[in-house]
Amino acid sequence: MSKHKAGKRHTLRSLARLEAPIVALTAYTTPMARLMDPHCDLLLVGDSLGMVVYGMPSTLGVTTEMMIAHGQAVIRGSSRACVAVDLPFGSYQKSPQQAFETAARVMAQTEAGCVKLEGGEEMAETIYFLTQRGVPVIGHIGLKPQAVHTHGGFRTVGRGSEADQIIKDADAVVAAGAGAVVIESTVEPLARALSDRLPVPTIGIGASPACGGQILVGEDMLGLFTDFTPRFVRQFGTLAADIDKAVAAYAEAVRTRQFPGPENYVSASGTKTEGA
């Protein structure tokens, strides 16, 4: 039985009506979604899962099948937050038709509330095609990780003349119907200008407090993913250290035969041990 209560889950539209900044995190699995859902307005099944969960060097190798499997897992673990699913590299850039086919599969198989796709002016026609056909879309501008090889690395963008293009990108994406825009790794004056001019919420990651909301990769802010730590991350937890400690304690207990204890197994056939 799903915990979902009809009419209680946030939609992309209802996020825009929040007074306080939008609280968003990425989630990839049911247990993480369960823990995050009570505190978050938006859970993003980010294609960052390729790097965080699968150890890939970038997000480029992520497939639609992976996004659907993890989207289903996050929907099962949440009831309150709006769930967005990233469209992965190569699944939407070819044409509006390709994007619709991918988005329709994702929406139908996961029941997510919206999809997110990276791109500016060049994706406006596609965003219009989707939003006119019942697919709510979150835009994603600034640093676009799927374009890492074009950007020349995961670096801050929007300094000097780059800012003009990003403003055009934001205007085009919103005119095409995007209901919110993620702004990644841009300088503060640009993030502020975008947040002031756009009629939909901006959700920042490395884009200053001027945005209408904030998003981080869950594993980054929990101190669980430590392969690299972008400057925009603050660690609110120390889960990597906690897990290291727990696994070391387990290993020690097994090696000294302290685990399993009497409560963890049946001592004689037909006889239950204390606490079992």
Ligand X SMILES: CC(C)C(=O)C(=O)O
Ligand Y SMILES: Nc1nc(=O)c2c([nH]1)NC[C@@H]1CN(c3ccc(C(=O)N[C@@H](CCC(=O)O)C(=O)O)cc3)CN21
143 Ramachandran zone, left/alpha/beta (phi>0; psi -120 to 50):
beta
Report the Cα 166 to chain-centroid distance in Å: 22
Q: Which C-beta is closer to ligand X: that of 174 or that of 216?
A: 216
Question: Which parts of this chain interact with ligand Y (CB under 6 A)?
Answer: 48, 51-52, 59, 145, 153-155, 217, 220, 225, 228, 230-231
CA nearest neighbour of 44 among 17, 12, 13 = 12
Residues binding ligand X: number (CB under 6 A): 12
Which residue's Cβ has the minimum distance to ligand X?
46
Strand 42-45 and strand 82-86: pairing? parallel
Tell me whether residue 274 is one of the annotated catalytic residues: no
Q: CB of residue 144 vs ligand X: minimum separation in angstroms?
A: 9
DSSP symbol at 4: P
Distance CA 80, CA 223 (A): 25
User: Which is closer to Mg ion, CB of 4 or CB of 151?
Assistant: 151
- Which candidate in 101, 184, 263, 274 is catalytic? 184
- Is 85 strand, coil or helix? strand
The reply to whether 86 sits near Mg ion by the rule CB under 5 A is yes
Return the range that interacts with ligand X (CB under 6 A); candidates 46-54, 88-96, 126-134, 206-214.
Answer: 46-54
215 near ligand X, judged by CB under 6 A: yes
CA nearest 83: which of 198, 4, 140, 175? Answer: 4
Which whole-number Å values give the CA distances from 163 to 142, 157, 174, in the listed order?
9, 8, 17
Indicate the residue among 172 and 217 with the shorter CB distance to ligand Y: 217
Strands 137-142, 180-184: parallel, antiparallel or unpaired by DSSP? parallel
Min dist. Cβ of residue 17 to ligand X (A): 22
Q: Classify strands 202-205 and 213-216 as parallel, antiparallel or unpaired.
A: parallel
Nearest to 123 by CA among 155, 77, 75, 89: 89
Question: Which of 217, 221, 222, 224 forms a contact with ligand X (CB under 6 A)?
Answer: 217
Smaller CB distance to ligand X: residue 75 or 270?
Answer: 75
Tell whether residue 182 is a contact of ligand X (CB under 6 A).
Answer: yes
Query: Residue 265 binds which entry of Mg ion, ligand Y, ligand X, none, with Cβ cut-offs from 5 to 8 Å by kind?
Result: none
The CB-of-130 to ligand Y minimum distance in angstroms stands at: 22
Q: Which residues are part of the catalytic machinery?
A: 184
Interface ranges with ligand X (CB under 6 A)? 26, 44, 46-48, 86, 140, 182, 184, 205, 215, 217
